[in-house]
Amino acid sequence: MTWTPSPMPSATPNSPTPRIVLGVAGGIAAYKAVELLRLLREKGYHVAPVLTPDATRFVGLVTFSALASEPARTSLYGDPTTPIPHTYLGSNASLIVVAPATAHLIARYAMGLADDLLTATLLATRAPVLLCPAMHTEMWVQPSVQENLATLRRRGVLVLEPEVGPLAGGDVGTGRLPQPEKIAALIEKIVEGYRGALSGVRVLISAGGTREAIDPVRVLSNRSSGRQGYALADAACRMGATVTLVSTVERSLNLDTVSAIEVVPVESAAEMHEAMMKRALESECVIMAAAVADFAPRASSEKLKKRDGVPELHLERTPDILADLVAQRANGQIIVGFAAETTDVLANALEKLRDKDVDLLVVNDVAAPGVGFEHATNEVLLLSRHEEPERVSLRSKEAVAWEILARVAALLPQGAQ
């Protein structure tokens, strides 16, 4: 498995209820998914089942609907209450599990096809995904199946290997879906591994690119989308933290975290500085994920007119928020900085870690493909004073957020959680 949940303390009653999408593909082992659903509901999770059309040849939607938290779905179309079901399911999931995952489902997912509700949901999510393949041994050992799984693993998808045992054709071999209890226990480990890890911790996060006014209508800004900062806020909230997000952008938060996260809208570096400094003293962890302008013009109070010619912008340094946060750091407070590098990444980043005196530096190699401002994915190096640098390979910004916060939880003084 490539995505490991942090081995942290168990859940608190205040953490939001995990929302699990239970995908079921068309294989004989689909009958075990009914028991899995029951076990997940027993653990108190919100479970939304999604069956492929072929799965309904093996098991009935009615059974799933009766046991689940919301009606079982099989189609992208025809539900007037949820007109875009794949994005609703995908964006609100804490985890998507596919049990059983057939060879066909795995191939479609690896190819990026979205020809039914389940595959569309898999593409529309940034939540961790756990596949539980089940099929005949001959199919399981096919290079095509193994290569598709290798591709998905590389992208951060978790795979629970099938077991050896009697198969539906009467033969014995690898391909059996593990017992529902075993799958449910793994799901619990993934979900509870992060739930509660930051329980009782107040986390202050900045997000987005600052906008520096030139005049009442024009700004100097950058391409930051705020996505990594929002992903951090969402993940921290799910880990039990009390979260304040100081942001220059407005993005949607998930159903289960939206009411718990306090969002403080700001625009300029100066406004962000004020908002962060005011709240930092009452936070055990501060994360500067925002792309703050280093320079800003002195804003004109009136709109600059074309007829007055091309204006010359005189830029001045903005406050260095991170430096000021470090200067007033409270005892035991964890401060996380971000760094964007393009050359000599490790050497430059190690120097920055020392200079900035932060507890954790998240380094983006912005020259690498799929990394940084305009991408949904990220690949980072995590640097802290007494630990070896840790590379978090390319994955969704949400999955990167879990890794960063797992490190934060490990750095917090014992008893802070």
Stretch that binds ligand CTP, among 139-147, 153-161, 331-339, 393-401 (CB under 6 A): 331-339
Pairing mode, strands 129-133 and 95-101: parallel
Q: CB nearer to ligand CTP: give 59 or 322.
A: 322
By CB under 6 A, how many residues form the interface with ligand CTP?
A: 13
Cβ closest to ligand CTP, residue 148 vs residue 318: 318
Rounded CA-CA distance 283/75 in Å is 45
Is residue 389 within 8 Å of residue 365, measured between CB atoms?
A: no
Examine the residue annotation and report whether 222 is marked as an active-site residue of this protein: yes
Q: Binding of ligand CTP at residue 338 (CB under 6 A)?
A: yes
One-letter-per-residue 3-state SS of 392-411: EEEEEHHHHHHHHHHHHHHH
Evaluate whether 221 touches 297 at the Cβ level (below 8 Å).
no
Among 117, 131, 191, 339, binds ligand CTP (CB under 6 A): 339
The reply on whether position 320 binds ligand CTP by CB under 6 A is: yes
Binding flag, residue 205, ligand CTP (CB under 6 A): no
Q: Does 288 bind ligand CTP (CB under 6 A)?
A: yes
What kind and span of H or E run contains 190? helix 180-194
318 binds ligand CTP (CB under 6 A): yes
Residue from 321, 381, 401, 405 binding ligand CTP (CB under 6 A):
321
Q: Which is nearer to ligand CTP, 254 or 364 (CB)?
A: 364
Residues 276 and 245: their CA atoms lie apart, in Å, by 9
231 sits near ligand CTP (criterion: CB under 6 A): no
Structure tokens at 138: 């001959």
Nearest distance, CB of residue 337 and ligand CTP, angstroms: 4
Q: Applying CB under 6 A, which part among 73-81, 277-285, 305-313, 315-323 lies near ligand CTP?
A: 315-323
408 is a contact residue toward ligand CTP (CB under 6 A): no
- Judged by CB under 6 A, the stretch of 82-90, 143-151, 197-205, 332-340 that binds ligand CTP is 332-340
* Measured CA distances, 240 to 86, 260, 330, 405 (Å): 27, 10, 21, 11
Q: Among residues 20, 130, 290, 411, which is the contact residue for ligand CTP, using CB under 6 A?
A: 290
C-beta of residue 131 within 8 angstroms of C-beta of residue 162: no
* Closer residue to ligand CTP in complex, CB, 127/321: 321
Q: Which of 14, 92, 148, 222 is catalytic?
A: 222
Residue 286 binds ligand CTP (CB under 6 A): no
For the chain, the straight-line distance linking the first and the last C-alpha, in angstroms and rounded, comes to 27
> Is the Cβ–Cβ distance between 271 and 318 less than 8 Å?
no
Specify the DSSP class assigned to residue 243. Answer: E
Is residue 114 close enough to count as binding ligand CTP by CB under 6 A? no
* CB < 8 Å & 24+ apart, contacts of 307-316: 311/214, 313/214, 313/220
Least separation in angstroms between CB 213 and ligand CTP: 16
Pairwise CA distance, residues 196 & 235, whole Å: 11
> Which residues are annotated as catalytic?
222
Which residues make up the interface to ligand CTP (CB under 6 A)? 269, 288, 290, 292, 294, 318, 320-322, 337-340
